[in-house]
Structure 1
Amino acid sequence: MKASQLKNILAISVIGLGVSACGSMDVVSSIGGNSSDSTAMDTFGLTTEDFNYAANQAVEEFLASPASNRADGRRWRATLGEVVNDTTFKIDTRSMTSRMRNKLINSGKFSFSGFTGQDRTSFVADSRQLSKSSMVDQRTVAKAGTVQAPDLEIAGEIRQRTNVSGDGSRQRLEYEFDFRAVDANTGQIAFSTLIDIKKLGSNKKFAW
């Protein structure tokens, strides 16, 4: 066998081993996140698809429960509280709560406060300060004592558990989304749900 042929065979073998090693890092999500989107990236971290799934599940369960309907038939005046990130990853929890807020508003059963919580803005308070300006038509200024307080807070926590197989070759990350709605008038938890997402993949560490 010529030296050039031997080099080609060795090169093909090395490439084959490299592809095989990289393939072993595939991560499979419990929600089937890698099957339909050709641009999806295999990762143990949380993706947009994961956030959409968790937000959809939480909102659908909330809307299906009696707690989503006020006894007087009016909309809940809700506020977004804190969602604690209790994982080893840096997670923008607003990616979750913003999706939930939008879906709840579109249901017609909820309005959200821009005066308290994560959506708090200075606009509401600043509007009332315009009453001190002689340049502003006072008939158009927002009046004091007209802001409606929220009567429902939506908050929660994202937790993570990591399990490694007996031979150390595989690991599974389990994410738990814990959401609750608290009634401001009674102090009771009106609704609570747990959404699970599991990711299974290699436990090996590669340089690339």
Structure 2
Amino acid sequence: MTNLVNSFKKISVIIALGFAITLTGCSSNVEYVTDDNADDAISFGLDSQDFERAAQESLNSLLASNALNKPGGGRYVVAIGKVVNDTTMRIDTDMLIKKIRIGMLQSGKAVITTAIAGNSNNVDDLIYDVRELRGNDEFKQDTIAGKGTLYAPDFSLTGKILQRIARTGKNKQLVEYYLQLTLTDIKSGLAYWENESTVRKLGSNKSTAW
């Protein structure tokens, strides 16, 4: 009976050691973020700083191109078209484009229409809901927008976010994100401005980029 108990203990120790080794092997490439290394922590994903930098770079390029300089002064009307996320990540493209929209408005060179857009999230439904109140006796009709008051856009802003993964060495991989934007003249169909901003992330090739 004693030999049986001792054998069982030895088996238990072996199993425990094997389990510990397995856990160690699985977590050998994982480093927890602490107060000491938080500033050095790098994620393969896009964070708020990446959005800020890519959006600002695109905005600077757009304003420097003079594409929004309207002859005789005034502002162009810009509609936000589709911005396609062609990466392995879930990216809030509206958050990225929002920063560019704000910059265009603050520049005094453009206004953004929310009456029409490539993504329904950028359309203000109240514009049309209020117009359905025409003929409703509960509302003063002279306060309701009449027909022919909406402005059609002069330009559309469309884009795409791409991802490229490349190995740079034995234990490293480089993940690159490309923000490509195009400003198109609605009437002529001609692109007046294009830009590509790049965000690069370097890390272990055993890490995932999503």
- The normalised TM-score by structure 1 is 0.78
Q: How many residues align?
A: 179
- 1:146-165 equivalences under 5 Å are 146-165=149-168
Q: How far apart, in 2, do the equivalents of 1:111 and 1:40 lie?
A: 40
Distance change in 2, residues 1:19/1:66 (3 Å): same
Q: Match of 1:30?
A: none
**Counterpart residue number, 2:146:** 143
Is residue 176–residue 199 contact of structure 2 (8 Å, CA) maintained in 1? yes
> Which amino acid is the alignment partner of residue 76 of structure 2?
W
Give me the whole-angstrom Cα distance separating, in 1, the residues matched to 2:27 and 2:142.
Answer: 71
Tell me the secondary structure at the aligned position of residue 68 of structure 1: coil
Tell me the CA shift for residue 137 of structure 1: 1.0
5 Å-filtered alignment, 1:161-172, equals 161-167=164-170, 169-172=171-174
Q: 1:132 to 1:43 in 2, by over 3 A?
A: same
1:18 offset after TM fit, Å? 11
Specify the alignment match of 1:202 in structure 2: 204
- Check if 1:73 corresponds to 2:76: no
Distance 2:207 2:201 in 1: 16
Secondary structure of 1:182's aligned partner: strand
Note the C-alpha offset of 1:196: 0.8
Spell out the pairing of 1:1-208 with structure 2 (5 A cutoff): 21-22=29-30, 41-117=41-117, 118=119, 119-167=122-170, 169-205=171-207
Counterpart of 2:195 in structure 1: which amino acid?
T
Q: Which amino acid aligns with 1:186?
A: S
Distance in 1 (alpha carbons) for counterparts of 2:41 and 2:137: 57
The unaligned stretches of length 5 or more in structure 1 are 1-13, 27-36
Farther-moved stretch of structure 1 (42-51 vs 68-77): 68-77
Q: Cα distance, 1:72 vs. partner?
A: 3.2
Tell me how far 1:39 sits from its aligned partner.
6.7
Larger Rg: 2
Letter in 1 for 2:137: S
CA 1:69–1:196 in structure 2 vs 1: closer, same or farther (change >3 Å)?
same
| Structure 2: distance between partners of 1:81 and 1:192 | 14
Q: 2:101, 2:146 → 1: CA distance? A: 27
Cα deviation per residue 1:5-55 (whole Å; 9 max; x = unaligned)? xxxxxxxxx9xx9998545x99xxxxxxxxxx9578521010011011011
Kept after mapping to 1: 8 A contact 2:29/2:206: no
Preserved CA contact (<8 Å) 2:42 2:201: no
What whole-Å deviation, never above 9, does each CA across 1:168-205 have from its counterpart, x for those lacking one? x1000011110010011211001000101111111125
Q: CA deviation at 1:165?
A: 2.9
Change (3 A) 1:40 1:109: farther
Q: TM-score, normalised by structure 2?
A: 0.77
